[in-house]
Amino acid sequence: MTAQPISPAERAARARDVFGHLPPHIDAAVLFDDQFIQYYSGFSFMPTERPIALVVVRGGERHLFVPRLEREHAEQTGEAEVILDYAEYPGRVHPMRQLADYLAQQGLESAQLAIDHDGYPSVMGYHGPTLSESLRTATIHRRPDAFDHQMSLKSEAEVRLIEESIVWGTQAHHLLQRYTRVGESEHTVEARASKEATEAMTQALGPSYRGQNRWLSGAVALYRGQIGPASALPHATTTGARFQAGDTLVTGAGAAVWGYLSELERTMVMGEPSPEQQRYFQHMLNLQDIAFAAVRAGVTAASVDQAVQAYFAQEGLQAYWRHHVGHSLGQRIHESPFLDIGDERVLEAGMVLTIEPGLYVPGLGGFRHSDTILVTATGMKCLTDYPRDLESLIIPAS
Amino acid sequence: MTAQPISPAERAARARDVFGHLPPHIDAAVLFDDQFIQYYSGFSFMPTERPIALVVVRGGERHLFVPRLEREHAEQTGEAEVILDYAEYPGRVHPMRQLADYLAQQGLESAQLAIDHDGYPSVMGYHGPTLSESLRTATIHRRPDAFDHQMSLKSEAEVRLIEESIVWGTQAHHLLQRYTRVGESEHTVEARASKEATEAMTQALGPSYRGQNRWLSGAVALYRGQIGPASALPHATTTGARFQAGDTLVTGAGAAVWGYLSELERTMVMGEPSPEQQRYFQHMLNLQDIAFAAVRAGVTAASVDQAVQAYFAQEGLQAYWRHHVGHSLGQRIHESPFLDIGDERVLEAGMVLTIEPGLYVPGLGGFRHSDTILVTATGMKCLTDYPRDLESLIIPAS
C-alpha cells in the first residue's frame, strides 16, 4: 500500500503537543511561517504579500487567519477549528491590526505568546508592523527553535511519506542517469526524466495524490548546473549546460508526497574516470562512510561533523571543504538540526537527515553523494537505496 | 536582438542611487532578502540556513557576506566590490556575530543603518539574533518600503527583459492551449508545453542564457489545479486533475530571463461555453477593461481597485470578489505597489504591473485573465499580446 497523508488526528496531536516543547507559562503560539502552518493545520498554500497566521492556544485549538482569497481553500484543505478571514492586503484595515484585535478578543491581549517570527516576513512587498508592535500588552517570545525541534522528530507516518518520496525520487534519478548523454542539454534530460517519473508516480498514487510541497513539484531529478567544472560550485543554479566526455556530474532527486520530500544526490562521471576523479570520488565515499558510522541517537550533531573534518585534516583535503555534513529534512528541503561543528543539539531517534559531505576541486568538479537516513537508538537506517560505487555511476561517453 | 542581462554599470548605479530613496542621515543599507541582494549585486543564489547579507555603504560600495560554500559562486556571478566569507552556519562563531564585527571594523559600529529585515529570516531552520541585537550601538531603521520603491521603477533594460520573458511565456501558453484535451492530465500537458517552450527559448537565447529567478525556471505554462470547479480557488495548488468537457480553466504562464519574469493568465473553457460561463467571462473582461482604463502615472494604486470594486457593487457581484486588481512584478512574482483599495502609493511611469481582477463562482469556476502592463505618463502599455476573447479561448471538447 502506498503511504497515506498525515491524519487529522496526528495534526491535532501536534497542536496539543507543541506546548510540551515550550515553557509552561506560554498561553498560545502565533505562527507566520507557511511551513509551520502546514505542519500544525495541514493547510498548504502559496505565500504572497497577504499574511496568513495560525494561532494555537493551549489545549490545541487552532485559529487560522487568512485573506478572503484563501477562505474556501483553507476550509477545504485545512484542519483548523476556527477559520477567520480579512478582506485583502493592505486593505482598509491592515491585516496585522485585525490579527492583533482578534487575539485581544480571544483573551490573549496580555498573554505570553510564543512566535516563530515577529510578524509576517516581507518577502513579496508586504510591509507591516511586527506582532510586538501590534499587540504591545502581550509578552512575545521568539522561539523558532522549539517548533523546529518538534518538527525534527518524525512520526512513523512521516517516515512512510519520506520513504514514498524516496521511491519516486529514485525512479526519476534512474531515468536521469539513463537519458544523460554527451551533447544532450541539461534541461532536456531533466525535463524528460522528471515528466516520466511524475507520470508513473501520479498513476501509482491515484487521483487523490497531492504534492503539497513548497520546494518540489512531482518527482524530479536534476543537475542544477553541476556539470563539469561548474559542479565545483555546490549551489550552482544554471540550467543550460550540455554534457561533455570527462565531465564530473552532481545530481539531485526527490519527490513531493503529501507535503514531504527526500534527497538523493549522486556524483557521476561521463566516460572513463581519470585517476584524479577516481581519487576524489574515493575520498568522498570515505567521508560519507565516516559520517554514517558517527550518527546515532545520543551524540551531538557537531560530533558527526568533527569526525568528517578530522578526515579532511588527516588527508590534507581542507582546500576542498565547503560545507557541513548534512541537515534534517521532511517538509522543508533543509530543516534543523544541522550536522555542523557548531550545532550542539543531540540527535534523537526519529530524526531524518541527509548525509552529504562533499569535496570541491576547482577546475575539475564536485564530489558529493547525498543519502537520506533515519536516526535510530543504535545508529541509523539508510532510507536511500541507490548505487554508491563509481562503476555504477559511469555514463558511457561513446 | 534578444534582451541582454542587466549591465554591471546599471547595478552599480542602483547601489549608488539607493540612498536617494532613504533619509539623508543613513550611512549604509544592510540587506538580508535574497531578491534585494540580487537586485543590487547581481548575485543569484538559493537561500538556505546559511545567512547571506549585502552591505551597501553611502557612495555605493557593496560588501557581500557569504558562507564559504558560496564564495566562488559569488566571485564568478556577483558584482560586489568586496566579498567576504564565513565558514558555515552555525559554525564555531555565529555568522551574525561575524557580520556585526565586520560592520564595526568598517566604522559602522554606531552608524544609522537602513535594513530590509531585522536579521536573517529563519526559513530553513536558521536561528540567530536580529541585527539590532547583534550591533546594539548602531541605530537600525526598518525600511523595506524604500528598497521596494526603487525596485518598482523599471529601467528600459528591465522592461526589455520582461518583454523577452513575455515572448517565451506566450509561446508556452500557446502550446498549453494546443495540448489541452479532454481526458489528459494537468501535469502531462504542463510538462510537455513547458519542456518544448524552454527548449525553444534556450535555443534562441544561446548558451550564455541564465534564468536566475527564484519563482520560475525556464519557460512555463500551467494550471496549478485551476480546473473545473477547483478554478474557483484562486490559489489552488494541486497538479493531478484531468480535463473534462464543460470545465472552466484558469492558466498561468511566464519565463525566467536573466532574473526577470512576467505573468500571463487566461480563462479558457472546454467545449461550448454555457450561458453562465459566457456571462461571468464577459463580466471579467469588463472588469479588466475598467482597470486598464484607470491606470496611469499620477493616480493612486487604490483608485484602480476602487473603479473595479464599483463595478462589482453596481452589478451585484460582490459574492464573487476574492482579491485586489493586481501587483507590481519584475524580479519577484509579486512586488509592491498593489492595486488595492488600501494602497495609497501613486503609480509612476516605468512601473510594471499585472491587471487581473477575477470572479470566483463556487461550483462553476474562476474567471481571471492576467496581463502584464507598463505604466506610462498618459495611461499604460499592455506588454502581453495574447487573445482575450472567449472565442479564441475555447478548447474543442470532442
The answer to whether A364 and A332 are in contact (CB under 8 A) is no
Q: What are phi and psi of B365, to 5 degrees?
A: 150, -175
Q: Which structural domain, as residue segments, surrounds residue A116?
A: 8-151
Q: Residue A387 is placed in which grid cell?
A: 548505487
Q: How many helices (H) and strands (E) does chain B have?
A: 10, 18
Residues A112 and A200 in one domain: no
Nearest to A335 among B125, B238, B328 (CB): B125
Residues B130 and B265 in one domain: no
Structural domain count of chain A? 2
Q: Residue A397 is placed in which grid cell?
A: 561517453
Residues A284 and A346 in one domain: yes
In a domain, B322, yes or no: yes
* Pick among A233, A320, A325 to test the B interface (most B CBs inside 10 A): A233
Helices (H), B295-325: 301-314
Residues A79 and A128 in one domain: yes
Residues A167 and A100 in one domain: no
In a domain, B22, yes or no: yes
Mean per-residue pLDDT, A103-121: 96
What pLDDT does residue B234 have?
Answer: 83
For residue A238, what pLDDT band results from cuts at 50, 70 and 90? Answer: low
Residues A61 and A162 in one domain: no
Strand residues in chain B grouped as ranges (E): 28-31, 53-57, 61-67, 82-86, 112-115, 139-142, 219-222, 248-250, 252-255, 267-270, 326-328, 335-339, 352-355, 358-361, 365-368, 371-375, 380-382, 394-395
C-alpha to C-alpha distance for A205 and B29, rounded to whole angstroms: 49
In a domain, B358, yes or no: yes
Q: State the residue for C-alpha cell 518527482.
A: A219
Q: At what angle do helices B144-152 and B34-41 cross, to 10 degrees?
A: 50
- Contact at CB, A124 and B335, closer than 8 angstroms: yes
What pLDDT does residue B398 have?
Answer: 80
In a domain, B1, yes or no: no
CA distances from B318 to B110, B278, B314, B315, B360 (A): 53, 18, 9, 8, 10
Question: What's A344's domain CATH number?
Answer: 3.90.230.10
pLDDT at A1 over 90: no
Nearest to A45 among B198, B237, B335 (CB): B237
In a domain, B3, yes or no: no
The sign of the torsion formed by the CA atoms of B175, B178, B182, B184 equals negative
- Contact at CB, B232 and A72, closer than 8 angstroms: yes
Residues A163 and A297 in one domain: yes
The answer to whether A134 and A104 are in contact (CB under 8 A) is no
Q: How far is A254 from chain B (nearest CA, A)?
A: 16
* Pick among A2, A126, A186, A187 to test the B interface (most B CBs inside 10 A): A187
A209 contact residues in B (CB cutoff 8 A): 240
C-alpha to C-alpha distance for A354 and A209, rounded to whole angstroms: 25
Cross-strand pairs, B254: B220
Q: What are phi and psi of B325, to 5 degrees?
A: -80, -30
Residues B134 and B187 in one domain: no
Residues A219 and A131 in one domain: no
**For every one of its 398 residues, what pLDDT tens digit does chain B have, with 9 covering 90 and above?**
678 999 999 999 999 999 999 999 999 999 999 999 999 999 999 999 999 999 999 999 999 999 999 999 999 999 999 999 999 999 999 999 999 999 999 999 999 999 999 999 877 899 999 999 999 999 999 999 999 999 999 999 999 999 999 999 999 999 999 999 999 999 899 999 999 999 999 999 998 899 999 999 999 999 998 999 999 988 776 667 889 999 999 999 999 999 999 999 999 999 999 999 999 999 999 999 999 999 999 999 999 999 999 999 999 999 999 999 999 999 999 999 999 999 999 999 999 999 999 999 999 999 999 999 999 999 999 999 999 999 999 999 98
User: Which distant-in-sequence residues (6+ apart) come within 8 Å of B316 by Cβ?
Assistant: none
pLDDT at A237 over 80: no
B93 contact residues in A (CB cutoff 8 A): 342
* Pick among A131, A223, A239 to test the B interface (most B CBs inside 10 A): A239
C-alpha to C-alpha distance for A162 and A258, rounded to whole angstroms: 9
Predicted confidence (pLDDT) per residue in A135-166, tens digit: 999 999 999 999 999 999 999 999 999 999 99
Residues B127 and B182 in one domain: no
Q: In what order do the strands lie in the sheet with B82-86?
A: B82-86, B61-67, B53-57, B28-31, B112-115, B139-142
Question: What's A121's domain CATH number?
Answer: 3.40.350.10
Residue at a domain's end among B151, B177, B192: B151
C-alpha to C-alpha distance for B249 and B265, rounded to whole angstroms: 10
C-alpha to C-alpha distance for B352 and B166, rounded to whole angstroms: 12
Residue at a domain's end among A151, A178, A205: A151
The answer to whether B319 and B363 are in contact (CB under 8 A) is no
A328 contact residues in B (CB cutoff 8 A): 125
In a domain, B357, yes or no: yes
What pLDDT does residue B1 have?
Answer: 63
- Contact at CB, B327 and A116, closer than 8 angstroms: no
Between strands B394-395 and B267-270, the pairing is: parallel
What pLDDT does residue B17 have?
Answer: 98
pLDDT at A371 over 80: yes
* Pick among A340, A344, A352, A359 to test the B interface (most B CBs inside 10 A): A340
Nearest to B332 among A125, A235, A340 (CB): A125
The answer to whether A221 and A175 are in contact (CB under 8 A) is yes
Between strands B28-31 and A112-115, the pairing is: unpaired
C-alpha to C-alpha distance for B167 and B165, rounded to whole angstroms: 5
Nearest to B125 among A191, A232, A334 (CB): A334
Nearest to A195 among B117, B191, B209 (CB): B191
Residues B93 and B196 in one domain: no
Residue at a domain's end among A122, A151, A180: A151
A353: amino acid identity, one letter: L
Q: Residue B321 is placed in which grid cell?
A: 470578489
Q: How far is B72 from chain A (nearest CA, A)?
A: 7
C-alpha to C-alpha distance for A271 and A181, rounded to whole angstroms: 10
Residues A158 and A17 in one domain: no
In a domain, B256, yes or no: yes
- ipTM rounded to 2 decimals: 0.95
In a domain, A1, yes or no: no
CB interface of A with B, residues 199-228, below 8 Å: 199, 202, 207, 209-212, 217-218
Between strands A352-355 and B335-339, the pairing is: unpaired
CA angle (B307 as vertex; B304, B312 as ends), nearest 5: 125
C-alpha to C-alpha distance for B85 and B98, rounded to whole angstroms: 9
Q: At what angle do helices B275-294 and B301-314 cross, to 10 degrees?
A: 150
